[in-house]
Structure 1
Amino acid sequence: MKNLTTILLMAGLCLNMQAEALPKYIDLSGTWLFALDRNKTIQAGDQLTETIQLPGTTDTNKKGDYTARSEETTQLSRRWSYKGRAWYQKEVDIPVSWKGKPVYLTLERTKPSEVYVDGKFAVSSNDISTPQVFELSKWLKPGKHQLAIMIDNGYGVPEQLYESSHAYTESTQTNWNGIIGKIELSIQLPSPSQVKVVHQNFRDFHIEGQHFYANGHVIYLRGKHDACVWPLTGHVAMDVESWRKYLGTCGAYGINHIRFHSWCPPEAAFVAADELGIIMQPELPFWGSFDEQDDTLMTFLHKEGVNILRTYGHHPSFRLFALGNELWGSIEKMAEFVEDFRKIAPDKFYTFGSNYYLGYQGVKKGMDYFTTCRVGGEGWGNYNTHTRGSFSFADAADGGVINHFYPNTMMNFEEGCQLAYPEGTAWTKAVPVISHETAQFQTYPDYDEIKKYTGVLYPYNMEVFRNRLEKAGMLDQAKDFHKASGLWSLQLYKQDIEMDLRTKNMAGFQLLDLQDYPGQGSAYVGILNAFMEPKGICTEREWRQWCAPVVPLLIADRFCFTNQEGIRAWIQVANYSGESLNGKTLCWQLTSNSKGVASGKILLPSTEGLFTAGELCIDLSAFDKPTKLQLSLSIGETEYFGAPYHNTYDLWVYPAWSDLSKLESLVMVTNELNDIAISQLQKGKSVLLMPDSTDLCVGGLFTTDYWNYRMFKTISENNKKPVSPGTLGILTDPNHPIFNGFPTEMHTNWQWFPIIKASHPMILDNTSPDYRPIIQVIDNVERNHKLGLVFEFQVDKGKLLVCMADLEAATSYPEGRAFYRSILEYMTSGDFTPKTHITLEDFKKLMTNPVVEGKIGELNNISPY
């Protein structure tokens, strides 16, 4: 009996061990047989002779058509490209232990596919946003089988997706062919990942009024746009560690929210976001017209939405969902989709589409929140509906409020946000507003970045831009162009973000972008490059001054003050930390050249959201010459990434008034090179020439150009709207004696507004290659003009300084008067010794002879303007 018991126990143990040893998965990653099927002639049972590594793509395996060189500047270039059918074949051995069990094939992410077993068709799918999972029990019995998968990246989805959706577009992740992520056979369906601890950003996530709340506190969405930019692989990363790194970098720059433009990230992204507290907004893979008459399109998009919600909806980070990017078409159909999706996932918040109808249609019933650049329509030149500070010249007069209005830190978007309620309801029903694709300020590219492209994509576009600059004779200035435009764009980003934070009824923003966008005409709009690496423009800590849970804000009607009026301003605090600041102290200090000028302390209340902390009244009468100041705001006893919440502002003080008549009497000031001016030059005198605008001039743009010049030049011309001047700020030497009475950096800053807005920089392409203006204006990568705002020559015996700004208009402002005075003081000093000699005739030719300008190719946007 004892032996029988032992035998039974041993038998039971063996059975348990067999059950434990029963494989639940067969990993199919590794080497597969492979063939391109350009002419659609391959049959499922054909023996393939090439090999390929999966997970991977034809690009990562160097299959397809090789691009040795490209002059295309629209986007990065695929080294190996292919669009069409491709076959992947592998022998699989189904264990005997799987007999009678369901067998599933999982392809975590791919394009439209057909699956064949032993030469016979089994199943197909065109799921592109979620894993393709096939039940193959009928075909895969125990034993060896030939598994063949045909992937087609040129057919199988609605035609509109190929050029628009970031699931397909060549602008970013490319229209690759292959299988990425998990590739496996299993005897159980993939189960949702388990979230053990829910981050506080997701707990009780809900809407009250026009704000989102989480964990019992108001939360502000500091978001970035994501277009699936992975330059080394040309496809999205599928592993959690890559997403931890990417989202961790976002978090280090204060970002707590990601909007996925017309695509949905994979499981790994949501897992990492769950850990890091990043609020996710995936979208349907669509950018175009929501055409209710197009049954194929509507069925496909509805199916994709259902799949996304059912596959990833359990993740606490998945809180928001949009129907795509900048949609137009049937609003009724959009509402129908949202109601259907709400039944599947009632815990999500929905909007019809990010910036649908470019915001002109306003809020409709069924929308939980509104991501937009404007709330409803407005007359041209009216900005009251806007929810961001920057626009193209095709989309808003003068490119938006930052470029248009005298610089201040009072502007906000309260008026526009107040309009965010559905028709037929009251303003009390207004929904949360998220600023759509905020900023988009260009920087000049960094050509050192070219060597970083060691993967499937190559920046031939950057090489073309670099060659153009070299041909224009300014390649030696490329690094300075990058630095000066980048530092100015940084200030513009700060202003646009702080305008959002100063808006009491705004719920968040979605930047375009923290990183460069390498497509759609090449848009170098990021503080980071396409690899999410710093471009040398700012540190994480500096960026977090204005992109953090708590931001102290200066509220002032100007950046430039006179010594008579002093500074009269307010300090506000945007507190979305979920923590009380009650009893903490805000310390402010005004400095000049790091020396203290004034300081004070303000005790803070417990208020959440945006609140006014106190008033600033600072006497500046001690300053008798133009001086740059810096105001520092710091909240003690707080910590974010190891440092207290802190913010700084550049300010300037100027004498209230100064008599320029004596200086003007020593210099001839003229708007034209007339006989009197010529006579003065011939006598060896000094002449200040401020000529009117001509065909050899470009307009005065205060901000850096929006997105990229090529695309919005096309759109503006097609819509009969003004074309942006297209420039990227100034480049100058701050130590040049012309600035002895006008403090400046090498780049544009707020004190330049009245000068640049009244300017029309001159095209100086016909000067010698080594000639440089005193104040140069940086041109875009399409034109590459040598542009001068202020430049000088020795003409005959005389000295000529040319200023391409209307200084009479600029002197309405203290900074404009200071600039004019500084020019005159320079021209009447021993420092005014132009090094370049030019004859009078050559100077006249310079000011009148046309320049050769290369043809700029057309590039349209998908959205209708």
Structure 2
Amino acid sequence: MLTVMNLEGEWKLQLDAEKQGLILPYTDSMNLPGTTSHARKGPRSEARRIDSLTDPYLFEGWAWFSREIDIPEELSGMTSFLFLERTRMTTVWLDEEEVGSRDSLNAPHLYDLTGRLEAGRHRLTIRVANTDYPTRGGHLTSPDTQTNWNGITGRIELQFCGTSYLSHVRLDPDVPGRSVRITAKLRGSSSATLTVSASGAGEDSARRVPAQNYAAEPGKVSVVYELGADALLWSDSEPGLYNLTLTLTDAEGKVADRHELLLGLREFKAEGDKFTINGEKTFLRGKHDGLIFPLTGYAPTDVEEWVRILRIAKSYGINHYRFHTCCPPEAAFTAADRLGIYMQPELPFWGTVTEEGEENHNQTEQDYLIREGYAILEAFGNHPSFVMMSLGNELWGSRPRIDAILEAYQAFDDRHLYTQGSNNHQWVPEVLEHDDFFSGVRFTRDRLIRGSYAMCDAPLGHVQTDVPGTMKDYDDAIVPPDFRREQEQGNGEDGQMAGTGTVQIQYGTEARTVRTGEVSGEWIPRVPVVSHEIGQYATYPDFAEIGKYTGVLKAENFKIFRERLENRGLGHLAEAYSASSGQLAAACYKEELEAAFRSRRLAGFQLLDLQDFSGQGTALVGVLDAFMESKGMVTPEEWRSFCGEAVLLARFPVYNWTAGENFRAHVELCDYRSRSRRDTVVRLEWELTAGGDKLAEGTAEAAATGNYTDLCDLEFPLPGVKAMTRAALSLRIPETDIAKTYDLWIYPEQERGVLDSLIWFRELSNAALALLEQGESVLLLPSPGELENAVQGMYSTDFWCYPMFRSISESMGKPEPVGTLGLLIENRHPVFRDFPTEAYSTYPLWTVVENSASLILDELETEWNPIVRTIDNFERNHHLGLLLECRVGEGRLLICPLNPEKAEESPEGRQFLASLARYVQSEAFRPTVRMDAEALRRLIR
């Protein structure tokens, strides 16, 4: 456009909740861009949301905005448009005459005002509606994310150009030819001259490409602009950019139109089981994004704010964003262009795609969603960062209809890769003919490609159930060994198992029974596979965060959770709960991510999430809070050691070892740096240290073999330690920042039967009570599975958030989640003299926790501070004790609901039992809390 008239500033306002129509005179005003909530317009609600943040000024209905505009003589009669960057459903009037309506939730609203804006004063009126959408809108309108705001955000302007102008400008980069094809529609009846010029952006601003002139005739313009043999290429690691300027000059030599665009020369493709960028394989290190911005309640539209946000994500190794049922504003794409982030917007749909004649078929909604896809492609498709698109989240329904939509988008715009949706047909997925890649969590019931699941989606993942180690990858799940053997024998056909029926599934935040249709059995993906929404490890709230909510949205949910904890008498533990659960969650994420990097057939992953999710019950699953600020769980540098361009990986079966054992590990490098930065020979330095002493060290070299290099096999005897010892296995590639550290624990040999030397019981029997009355020291190990007043042990932290999946499990008739968030340990207590531990869960305690239960202490009248607490979720807030001590009569009692036979099967379990036994027999065993027998019987039942 040649000239822009900015319409930011004060507008008259009339709120119309009942949608009765405009009533004059206007009674209020507010500044645009903005939202009614941000401007605090309308009555304040005292409601407190518990499942998400609270918008106290939420307004739903029609909001009428009006202002006077003065058109100068020089703009009179020009081609003119009203541009509204991001809003809801709008209808526009100019001088009381209706111009039209627009309903896109993702793309700008553009109104042609040509012939209507003569010189002088005009009244512009815009009605914004945020109810009765053609579709529910996914995370674009959800209270779980950016809220269902009303208003207009971003640019609000009148755009003017000559009688000849360009529309539908499209850039098709040609990497082999080092050029770009520019196509557009030339509007107007006269021929014109198109001048194209380019200069480097950012650090490459001194780079210039000579301008070229092209003759342009009315209709379609198509030209090829050469950038030169040394042209910059765009990728996540080297995001070379050009500022491209298109200038249209009419037959009289006057400039009629101008467009300034960012150009990135790139080719993002699916080749086999991997994505490539400009011919090099790349690995997607993605995060989910639902446009959560608590201070505004809506997504920012300024580039610098998005640069700040994406730069934080990139500092944690992220190179990919998947937008859940939403598309961000243009500023997000521009920032991603600058920083090198692969972007995947998604249609605002989370439901079932049907065909005409089917039950509940909604053709209006389906047509709207298809139009939204085209609008997204038109508005943002030129950005080099826009490389992928999804049709929605966890869709069900007609596969042929979904595939037809994919085919149409591919024919319309082949610059991007498309997928049918994220985790479609969850339990019975299938790659469609026109899928460029697959995004999901499983291929069949047991072929799982992430480490954690909700109980209603069980079986659970390896991070939740397996003995901790570093062996797991997903290669056998992606291509099972039986299929590989068949291929090697010359029989490459998939085994098919067709069928129809119904399945009960998690459907959003509820349960639903859906038809499966025709489904295949053991099918093998032949496109890149991206694991969907991995992680989801919950942490306890940090109530200090409440003070950050100084903008539109308020953390009433956090305040309610704090009140619940205080009502239990546990408010003083909030900070420790948050910190300890956070450390466990970070360790779970490390194993989750390393399993992905060990998987040579995987093309990438999409975390849920790097940051907390404010809704759906309040899912505090991030290592960053909702403001993209650190929660103190892990530094960016440490996170990048297991989530970066290049990751060192050691494969070994367990973290807990016995003194004198031979430690064995296979060391490999997953390396997706560009070829120019990869070494031809990789040198590894490693060492094992403990307490400042070097126990073993060495070096190894190997010729690099592409993205995965097997470096060496380590084997060395572990020292004959006399006490439980924590050691660190450190790996590094010299002169790089590629490094990794693993904690190992080494135990002295412990004989089985360590409990034989003391008095211990499996239940609180009369015999046990009699010994206590006589002043004896007793160890009580109640059988975990027989306790009524207890929560069963689970080492991994809770999935997503307890209230949401408790409700879903109940509605599906499936087991409820355990719902706990790890341990809080009084680690300086003398009971741990022979079992040194952190204040939070670490791998020596995995066997103990998995074979234990925690007593519910809620109803006790006596204040009892367990030595080891289990952290409960913020909904239940049980006071839970895993290891407790007390005086009973003249005796002393140590209680730990634990299966000792299971514990004795591992060196760490034997060490734990030995530490308990030695403590019970020591002078240090001096409990201070007194309990009577009857209270104990009520507790341990």
Q: Give 2:925's match in structure 1, choosing from 832, 835, 854.
A: 832
Distance 1:768 1:594, change over 3 A: farther
1:712 partnered with 2:805: yes
Task: Report the Cα distance in structure 1 between the residues aligned to 2:119 and 2:25, rounded to whole angstroms.
Answer: 22
Distance 1:156 1:441, change over 3 A: closer
User: Larger deviation: 480-489 or 131-140?
Assistant: 131-140
1:745 partnered with 2:838: yes
1:174-205 per-position Cα deviation (integer Å, ceiling 9, x unaligned): 00000000000011478789885542337332
How many angstroms does 1:618 deviate by?
2.0
Counterpart residue number, 1:553: 649
Distance 1:653 1:699, change over 3 A: same
Counterpart residue number, 1:4: none
RMSD: 2.0
1:779 partnered with 2:872: yes
Counterpart residue number, 2:109: 132
Counterpart residue number, 1:7: none
1:346-375 per-position Cα deviation (integer Å, ceiling 9, x unaligned): 121111001111252222221111111112
Task: Report the Cα distance in structure 1 between the residues aligned to 2:710 and 2:863, rounded to whole angstroms.
Answer: 53
Counterpart residue number, 1:542: 638
How many angstroms does 1:584 deviate by?
3.6
Given that 1:660 and 1:821 are in contact with CA atoms closer than 8 Å, whether structure 2 keeps it comes out as no
Distance 1:323 1:422, change over 3 A: farther
1:344 partnered with 2:412: yes
1:556-575 per-position Cα deviation (integer Å, ceiling 9, x unaligned): 11111111323111111111
Q: Give 1:695's match in structure 2, choosing from 788, 800, 815.
A: 788
Task: Report the Cα distance in structure 1 between the residues aligned to 2:717 and 2:861, rounded to whole angstroms.
Answer: 49
Given that 1:434 and 1:508 are in contact with CA atoms closer than 8 Å, whether structure 2 keeps it comes out as yes
SS in 2 for 1:458: coil
Counterpart residue number, 1:476: 572
Given that 2:53 and 2:555 are in contact with CA atoms closer than 8 Å, whether structure 1 keeps it comes out as yes
User: Larger deviation: 721-730 or 413-422?
Assistant: 413-422
Task: Report the Cα distance in structure 2 between the residues aligned to 1:127 and 1:802, rounded to whole angstroms.
Answer: 62
1:679 partnered with 2:770: yes
Distance 1:580 1:427, change over 3 A: farther
Task: Report the Cα distance in structure 2 between the residues aligned to 1:427 and 1:82, rounded to whole angstroms.
Answer: 49
TM-score (norm 2): 0.83
1:642-672 per-position Cα deviation (integer Å, ceiling 9, x unaligned): xx111111111113442545x532x211111
Task: Report the Cα distance in structure 1 between the residues aligned to 2:793 and 2:4, rounded to whole angstroms.
Answer: 64
1:401 partnered with 2:401: no
Counterpart residue number, 2:517: none
How many angstroms does 1:624 deviate by?
2.7
How many angstroms does 1:845 deviate by?
2.8
After TM superposition, the structure 1 = structure 2 runs for residues 727-742 of structure 1, keeping only pairs within 5 Å, are 727-742=820-835
Task: Report the Cα distance in structure 2 between the residues aligned to 1:728 and 1:477, rounded to whole angstroms.
Answer: 14
SS in 2 for 1:183: strand
SS in 2 for 1:78: coil
Distance 1:428 1:152, change over 3 A: closer
After TM superposition, the structure 1 = structure 2 runs for residues 501-650 of structure 1, keeping only pairs within 5 Å, are 501-578=597-674, 579-638=677-736, 644-650=737-743
**Structure 1 gap ranges (5+):** 1-21, 639-643, 849-865
How many angstroms does 1:429 deviate by?
6.4
How many angstroms does 1:69 deviate by?
4.9
Counterpart residue number, 2:70: 93
User: Larger deviation: 98-107 or 318-327?
Assistant: 98-107
How many angstroms does 1:64 deviate by?
2.2
Given that 2:426 and 2:441 are in contact with CA atoms closer than 8 Å, whether structure 1 keeps it comes out as yes
How many angstroms does 1:157 deviate by?
2.2
How many angstroms does 1:23 deviate by?
6.9
Counterpart residue number, 1:18: none
Task: Report the Cα distance in structure 2 between the residues aligned to 1:43 and 1:800, rounded to whole angstroms.
Answer: 75
Distance 1:769 1:538, change over 3 A: farther
Task: Report the Cα distance in structure 2 between the residues aligned to 1:810 and 1:121, rounded to whole angstroms.
Answer: 76
Q: Give the letter for the 1:411 counterpart.
A: K
1:73 partnered with 2:135: no
Task: Report the Cα distance in structure 1 between the residues aligned to 2:829 and 2:342, rounded to whole angstroms.
Answer: 48
User: Larger deviation: 346-355 or 209-218?
Assistant: 209-218
How many angstroms does 1:837 deviate by?
1.2
Q: Give the letter for the 1:415 counterpart.
A: D
Given that 2:86 and 2:154 are in contact with CA atoms closer than 8 Å, whether structure 1 keeps it comes out as yes
Counterpart residue number, 2:16: 37
SS in 1 for 2:820: coil
Q: Give the letter for the 2:160 counterpart.
A: I
Task: Report the Cα distance in structure 2 between the residues aligned to 1:721 and 1:630, rounded to whole angstroms.
Answer: 41
Instruction: Report the number of matched residues.
Output: 807
Task: Report the Cα distance in structure 1 between the residues aligned to 2:563 and 2:620, rounded to whole angstroms.
Answer: 17
Counterpart residue number, 2:756: 664
Counterpart residue number, 1:15: none
Task: Report the Cα distance in structure 1 between the residues aligned to 2:923 and 2:36, rounded to whole angstroms.
Answer: 67
Distance 1:659 1:50, change over 3 A: closer
Q: Give 1:411's match in structure 2, choosing from 453, 468, 472.
A: 472
Counterpart residue number, 2:316: 253
Q: Give 1:655's match in structure 2, choosing from 724, 727, 748.
A: 748
1:443 partnered with 2:521: no
SS in 2 for 1:465: helix
Given that 1:790 and 1:803 are in contact with CA atoms closer than 8 Å, whether structure 2 keeps it comes out as yes
Task: Report the Cα distance in structure 2 between the residues aligned to 1:647 and 1:429, rounded to whole angstroms.
Answer: 32
Q: Give the letter for the 1:731 counterpart.
A: L
Q: Give 1:216's match in structure 2, choosing from 274, 279, 283.
A: 279
SS in 2 for 1:184: strand
1:84 partnered with 2:84: no
Counterpart residue number, 1:236: 299
Task: Report the Cα distance in structure 2 between the residues aligned to 1:105 and 1:554, rounded to whole angstroms.
Answer: 58
User: Larger deviation: 776-785 or 402-411?
Assistant: 402-411
Q: Give the letter for the 1:274 counterpart.
A: D
Counterpart residue number, 2:267: 204
Task: Report the Cα distance in structure 1 between the residues aligned to 2:924 and 2:292, rounded to whole angstroms.
Answer: 50
Q: Give 2:345's match in structure 1, choosing from 245, 265, 282.
A: 282
Counterpart residue number, 2:89: 112
1:186 partnered with 2:147: no
1:531-556 per-position Cα deviation (integer Å, ceiling 9, x unaligned): 00001111111111101111101101
How many angstroms does 1:809 deviate by?
1.1
Counterpart residue number, 1:486: 582
1:747-769 per-position Cα deviation (integer Å, ceiling 9, x unaligned): 11122121111111110112357
How many angstroms does 1:676 deviate by?
1.7
Given that 1:760 and 1:789 are in contact with CA atoms closer than 8 Å, whether structure 2 keeps it comes out as yes
Which protein is richer in strand relative to its size?
2
Counterpart residue number, 2:142: 169
1:127-180 per-position Cα deviation (integer Å, ceiling 9, x unaligned): 11110001012432222111000000012423x33xxx0111011100000000
Task: Report the Cα distance in structure 2 between the residues aligned to 1:148 and 1:140, rounded to whole angstroms.
Answer: 14
Given that 1:229 and 1:517 are in contact with CA atoms closer than 8 Å, whether structure 2 keeps it comes out as yes
Counterpart residue number, 2:119: 142
Q: Give the letter for the 1:586 counterpart.
A: L
Given that 1:198 and 1:274 are in contact with CA atoms closer than 8 Å, whether structure 2 keeps it comes out as no
Task: Report the Cα distance in structure 2 between the residues aligned to 1:449 and 1:724, rounded to whole angstroms.
Answer: 27
> Aligned residues: percent identity?
38
SS in 2 for 1:608: coil
SS in 2 for 1:358: coil
How many angstroms does 1:422 deviate by?
9.1
Task: Report the Cα distance in structure 2 between the residues aligned to 1:599 and 1:490, rounded to whole angstroms.
Answer: 27
Given that 2:77 and 2:115 are in contact with CA atoms closer than 8 Å, whether structure 1 keeps it comes out as no
Q: Give 1:392's match in structure 2, choosing from 434, 454, 465.
A: 454
How many angstroms does 1:483 deviate by?
0.6
Q: Give the letter for the 2:712 counterpart.
A: G
Given that 1:29 and 1:53 are in contact with CA atoms closer than 8 Å, whether structure 2 keeps it comes out as yes
SS in 1 for 2:792: coil
How many angstroms does 1:740 deviate by?
1.7
How many angstroms does 1:91 deviate by?
0.7
**Structure 2 gap ranges (5+):** 172-197, 202-231, 237-264, 356-360, 484-492, 497-519
Task: Report the Cα distance in structure 2 between the residues aligned to 1:625 and 1:374, rounded to whole angstroms.
Answer: 43
SS in 2 for 1:838: coil
Given that 1:166 and 1:263 are in contact with CA atoms closer than 8 Å, whether structure 2 keeps it comes out as yes
Counterpart residue number, 2:387: 319
Given that 1:112 and 1:157 are in contact with CA atoms closer than 8 Å, whether structure 2 keeps it comes out as no
How many angstroms does 1:608 deviate by?
2.2
1:817 partnered with 2:902: no
